[in-house]
Chains A and B, each alone.
Chain A
């Protein structure tokens, strides 16, 4: 090598050393060798039963020493009525996350499902901070929420973490009902992430804890190679083993507490020399923490389930009455013009006079979302037509209108007559905001130009709200809104 080349190489080496020193200038001296284990889970959705196993795994690792953390990548609520209907809503999740020793949480879109007041109480009582760089909250609205945090490990390392939550392209809000996030401001997550690049200097490890979904985690990794690790949620992806993209390790642990994620980092003199991640399957016989198991058993005996929501003057019986009640509830909860309920989704023959939460979830157990579709009269006929053909019988109960399916002797549809709630013909020259369950929206074959939108609540939620407001039950005595002409023999009631 010539003298000039040697000089140039030396200069470049010196420059790199200076830059390296500059980039770590704010960091304290790091241990010669260190190992960091980060357990993570996401999208639990109230499925608490495996937390006793999670607790045992985490405790065993903590007993071995070293730097051990537990991160949660959002969506703890909504998906298990036993937990969701606790008072206050979601309380078991808070108590269990505190007991597990969660160190950090990024909120998911479903953290807002019980409203801001509930989330404010949750964050105030959490024994861990929350991170989300793309949420701006008024002072005091969400205590402990911060854009980022630098965790100081026992061994003297620093882990810089920022959080991100997904937002919908259409309205710039997370996927929940807009009323539930009033007062908060959200920004586009990947753009906001770029503003967090400076955090790299504050940590030996630089990590994003996200609730974006795997696709956006990939985009984040591609645009931000400064990151060491992304721990994500939202898309319920079982990423096993964790994948390295653009030098960034991406991890996600499925959903519903079926897996526990485990990321392991090895550092030498503060430099990350190895990173890997995988999932621990929680099915099957694993050791359980007895105390947490006891908590889970207690929470699963939710006394709120026996709570009487309302006392009706008589038992509501038959699919016409029950379907009318359910569709009236859907319509009232979301200000819809018309609502439909398929009879296969009515899972009780009668509601007793004293209606409990358990009754509602037995009647409507599927967790279907309410979907709004803007439809004209012809499209409504198309929906009714498909529903009728499924069993040559009335299948859709309705609110906001009535209808008659006229058939010939072969039970082929001749005509579908639509009437408004007042009995007059339904105007054909306008459109209607029609509510159906996500099951009907996805399973039934009908024409509709508007693809529709989920309204961020379940059909059971709508019924609970409706019953809590003590409706006029008298209209459900002998009610019938869906007719067949000539009437079917042996109608199933």
Chain B
């Protein structure tokens, strides 16, 4: 199946999950997501879990985790 990550099309086995697609997309991005410094969102801006199941044509976007507001 074909999944778009940050507009780049990734061809991957059917039944792949979000984590699989990220690993195929970029090892370094995958590490950042694993560490929690980046998150994965769907095409509508909703964060998705790394075990999330995907269908043909799904879109994913990698985003930086927003920094917490400093407490006064």
Q: Among the listed A235, A239, A451, A455, which residue makes an inter-chain contact with B54, where contact means beta carbons less than 8 Å apart? A: A235
Q: Choose the segment among A134-142, A344-352, A438-446 that binds chain B (4+ C-beta atoms closer than 8 Å).
A: A438-446
- The yes or no answer to B16 lying at the interface (CB within 8 A) is yes
Q: Are B20 and A45 in contact (CB under 8 A)?
A: no
Chain A residues with a Cβ closer than 8 Å to the other chain, count: 40
Q: What are 21 contact pairs spanning A and B, CB under 8 A?
A: A166-B55, A170-B14, A175-B53, A214-B46, A235-B53, A235-B58, A236-B51, A237-B48, A237-B52, A254-B47, A256-B49, A369-B15, A369-B17, A441-B13, A442-B20, A443-B23, A443-B24, A451-B13, A452-B14, A454-B13, A456-B15
CB distance from B52 to the nearest CB of A (A): 3
B55 neighbours in A (Cβ, 8 Å): 166, 169, 213, 215-216
Q: Mark A199-242, 1 if CB is under 8 A from B, else 0.
A: 00000000000000111101000000000000000111111100
B34 neighbours in A (Cβ, 8 Å): none
B residues lining the A interface (CB < 8 Å): 1, 11-21, 23-24, 27, 42-44, 46-49, 51-56, 58
A254 neighbours in B (Cβ, 8 Å): 47, 49
Q: Are A235 and B52 in contact (CB under 8 A)?
A: yes
Q: Is the interface of A mostly helix, strand, loop or mixed?
A: mixed
B53 neighbours in A (Cβ, 8 Å): 109, 175, 213, 234-236
Chain A minimum-CB-distance residue to B40: A236
B21 neighbours in A (Cβ, 8 Å): 442
- The yes or no answer to A43 lying at the interface (CB within 8 A) is yes
CB distance from A239 to the nearest CB of B (A): 5
* Complex CA distance for A244 and B43, rounded to whole angstroms: 16
Q: Are A439 and B23 in contact (CB under 8 A)?
A: yes
Given A254-B49, A442-B21, 17 other A-B contacts at CB below 8 A?
Answer: A43-B51, A43-B52, A45-B51, A109-B53, A166-B55, A214-B44, A215-B43, A236-B48, A236-B49, A237-B42, A237-B47, A238-B47, A255-B52, A373-B13, A438-B16, A442-B24, A443-B27
- The yes or no answer to A371 lying at the interface (CB within 8 A) is yes
CB distance from A470 to the nearest CB of B (A): 30
* Complex CA distance for A168 and B56, rounded to whole angstroms: 10
Which of B12, B15, B43, B54 has the most C-beta atoms of chain A within 10 angstroms of its own C-beta? B15
- The yes or no answer to A79 lying at the interface (CB within 8 A) is yes
Chain B minimum-CB-distance residue to A371: B13
Shortest beta-carbon contacts, A-B, top 10: A454-B15, A236-B52, A236-B49, A452-B13, A255-B49, A442-B20, A442-B23, A238-B47, A237-B46, A442-B24
- The yes or no answer to A197 lying at the interface (CB within 8 A) is no
* Complex CA distance for A166 and B58, rounded to whole angstroms: 15
Q: Are A215 and B20 in contact (CB under 8 A)?
A: no
- The yes or no answer to A354 lying at the interface (CB within 8 A) is no
Q: Are B18 and A236 in contact (CB under 8 A)?
A: yes
* Complex CA distance for A414 and B29, rounded to whole angstroms: 32
* Complex CA distance for A476 and B35, rounded to whole angstroms: 37
Chain A minimum-CB-distance residue to B46: A237
